[in-house]
Amino acid sequence: MKLDTVENAQTDVNNSSGEEPSEESAFSSIRSFFLEVSLLTKFIVRFFAELFKAPFEFGEIIKQSFQIGYRSFYLVVITGFIMGLVLTIQARPTLISFGAEAWLPAMVSVSIIREIGPVITALICAGKVGSGVGAELASMRVTEQIDAMEVSGINPFKFLVVTRVIASTCMIPLLVVFADTVSLSGSYLGVNLESDISFNLFFNQVFASINFIDVLPAFIKAFFFGFGIAIISCYQGYYSGHGTEGVGRASNLAVVYASLMIFILDMIAAQITNLFM
């Protein structure tokens, strides 16, 4: 499908979804949903088609990796530390009531590594990275910078979309690793607020409770989280409507759809993981 055809179809989706629910028929809602899904699918197919074509924008990939990874690092680290600390403080009274306080390091570590760390980190990146990418590409569409790149012989899809998706897919799993590590450090501090446990004893219990089936699925789904966040954000921005309203709408939908995608992928990953346990 040509670019102008995709833009017209995307505009129809935006216009139909902007109507009041009372005026929109059920058929129109279903049609808009499947049209949106089909356009996103073609966008993903186009990404993989462009992925292995020259030129390879390594400089732009490094730049976007810095934008996505480094500039999200401090927010992810602070959130991870607080997450581990609060989870430990909240879980302690319940475990004490069952006489299982000794299981606190194991319970917190499994919870963080399996679910909380990847999901919370992905949601933070969906809000920060998703809104930023969606608004940036939408602004470029509104100001006709993307059209100017095409006229000058530059492939805007390769330069703008492929580089951002690769950077997000690679950086978000690394952010998850940092978040898990800092969360366990916060948990160690939470444990020592009311008891005295050595650093070696705490992390010996943590590593004794974690096995390969806990780490690998969490790391793999972090790649899918990164890919999904970037591809949805780029799609919303690249084919946004014209005007300032289109920029705001693209940024908002990027965050909403990326967050919803994270929960859906996490549910699917949990079911697949349970089959091998």
- Is 40 contained in some domain? no
Q: What pLDDT shows up at residue 17?
A: 45
Helices then strands, counting H and E runs in the chain, come out as: 13, 0
Domains: count for the chain: 1
Angle between helices 244-275 and 117-125 (to 10 degrees): 170
Q: What is the pLDDT of residue 154?
A: 84
Residue 85 counted as domain residue: yes
pLDDT at res. 174:
94
Residue-wise pLDDT for 143-179, tens only, equals 889 889 888 888 899 999 999 999 999 999 999 999 9
The answer to whether residue 10 is domain-embedded is no
Q: How many angstroms separate the first and last alpha carbons of the chain?
A: 44
pTM: 0.84
Predicted pLDDT of residue 192 = 87
Q: Is residue 35 part of a domain?
A: no
Where in the sequence is the domain holding 156, given as residue range(s)? 53-275
Flag whether 8 is in a domain. no
The pLDDT value given to residue 22: 52
**pLDDT for the residue 272:** 86
- Predicted confidence at residue 211, as pLDDT, reads 86
Handedness of CA 45, 46, 49, 52 (dihedral sign): negative
Q: Whole-angstrom Cα distance, residue 183 to residue 189?
A: 10
In a domain, 26, yes or no: no
Residue 162 lies in a domain: yes
pLDDT of residue 56: 84
Structural domain includes residue 203: yes
Predicted local distance difference test score (pLDDT) of residue 267: 92
Is 267 strand, coil or helix?
Answer: helix
The percent of the chain in helix, strand and coil, each rounded to the nearest 5, is 85, 0, 15
DSSP 101: G
The parts of the chain modelled with pLDDT lower than 70 are 1-24, 277
